[in-house]
Structure 1
Amino acid sequence: MTRKKLYEYVVDQNEMNGYGVDADGIECAVDIMEFVGGDLYRPLTRLLLSNWKEIAQRIEQYTQEKWDYVHSIAANIQHTLESEHSDESHHLSDQGIAIFLEMLEGEDTTTQILQGDTPITEEELRRIRGKG
């Protein structure tokens, strides 16, 4: 999928679902999807856009130390691409790396993991199925 088509898809999903991600955020989301690979663009679009505001709020709280860490990851990725995959042109900005880290290792990840280990009750299951 071309970047243009991917961008159009993200814009369409953003508008259709009312996520309210701004133009810079959409560009960053497209960068992340290009970096990961186009095959996952549909679920990744939903995941990124639906959580964008929460993730952006967490990133706004980053300390200089955290940004230095993010920058070192970006530099390592860029170095690896240049030396091992010179044909690759995709890269992530520091913001893209930060968003990706928050998706994978954010504060809520531990909470979600713990919630996933908790068995669902019959009452919750009925409510989910719309029979409660």
Structure 2
Amino acid sequence: MTRNKLYEYVVDQNEMNGYGIDRDSIECAVDIMEFVGGDLYRPLTRLLLSNWKEIASRIESYTDEQWNFVHRIAENMKDSLEHDHGDETHHLSDCGIAIFIEMLEGDDTVTQTLQGDTPITEEELRRIRGKG
């Protein structure tokens, strides 16, 4: 899937679900999806947008130590990609890396906690898989 198609999908989902995510944040979300792989765009869009505001507010209070960790990861990613792929550079900003870290390692957001108590329906599963 092209970046433009990913972007259009994220904008559409943002508007349809009333997440209220700004354009810069949408760009960052698309960067994360491209980095992970466009095949996972549906579940990643839902996960990112539904939790974006809470995760972004966590990042606003990052300490210097936490940002240094993010910067080290960014450098390692850049070095690794340049070594493995020559002229390619990483597409994640420091903010994108921080969001990704919080998604994977951070405490569950309120949305995740609430959704964790509700089993996913067959219809939702089909939509996530792109078959419904």
| TM-score, with length taken from structure 1 | 0.80
What is the CA–CA distance in structure 2 between the aligned matches of 1:8 and 1:83, rounded to whole Å? 32
**3-state SS, counterpart of residue 108 of structure 2:** helix
Partner of 2:75: 75
Instruction: Spell out structure 1 runs of 4+ moving beyond 3 A.
Output: 87-90
Structure having the higher Rg: 1
How far apart, CA to CA, are the structure 1 residues paired with 2:28 and 2:81? Answer: 19
Give the residue type in structure 1 aligned to 2:32.
I
Shift of residue 89, structure 1, vs aligned partner = 4.8
Aligned partner of 1:24 in structure 2 is: 24
Contact 1:14 / 1:49 at 8 angstroms: preserved in 2?
yes
Paired residue type of 1:10: V
Structure 1 residue 78, shift from structure 2 partner: 0.8
Matching of residue 2 in structure 1 with residue 2 in structure 2 = yes
Residues 96-124 of structure 1: per-residue CA shift (max 9 Å, x gap): 00000000000238xx89xx7xxx8xxx9
Q: Quote the Cα distance in structure 2 between the aligned partners of 1:10 and 1:87.
A: 28
Other-structure match for 1:43: 43
Calculate the aligned-residue CA RMSD, in Å: 2.4
Structure 2 residues not aligned, in runs of 5+: 122-132
Q: Quote the Cα distance in structure 1 between the aligned partners of 2:69 and 2:89.
A: 23
Q: Percent identity?
A: 76
Asked if the contact 1:70–1:94 (Cα under 8 Å) also holds between the matched residues in 2, the reply is: yes
Code of the aligned partner of 2:11: V
Shift of 1:80: 0.3
Normalized against structure 2, the TM-score is what? 0.80
Instruction: Report the CA distance between 1:49 and its aligned residue.
Output: 0.2
Structure 1: segments with no counterpart, 5+ residues: none
Asked if structure 2 preserves the Cα contact closer than 8 Å seen for 1:33 and 1:40, the reply is yes
Cα shift at 1:30: 0.2
Measured after TM superposition, the shift of residue 65 of structure 1 is 1.0
**Aligned AA (2:4):** K
Count how many residue pairs are aligned between Structure 1 and Structure 2.
116
Aligned partners of 2:34 and 2:102: how far apart in 1? 18
CA distance in 2, matches of 1:87, 1:79: 11
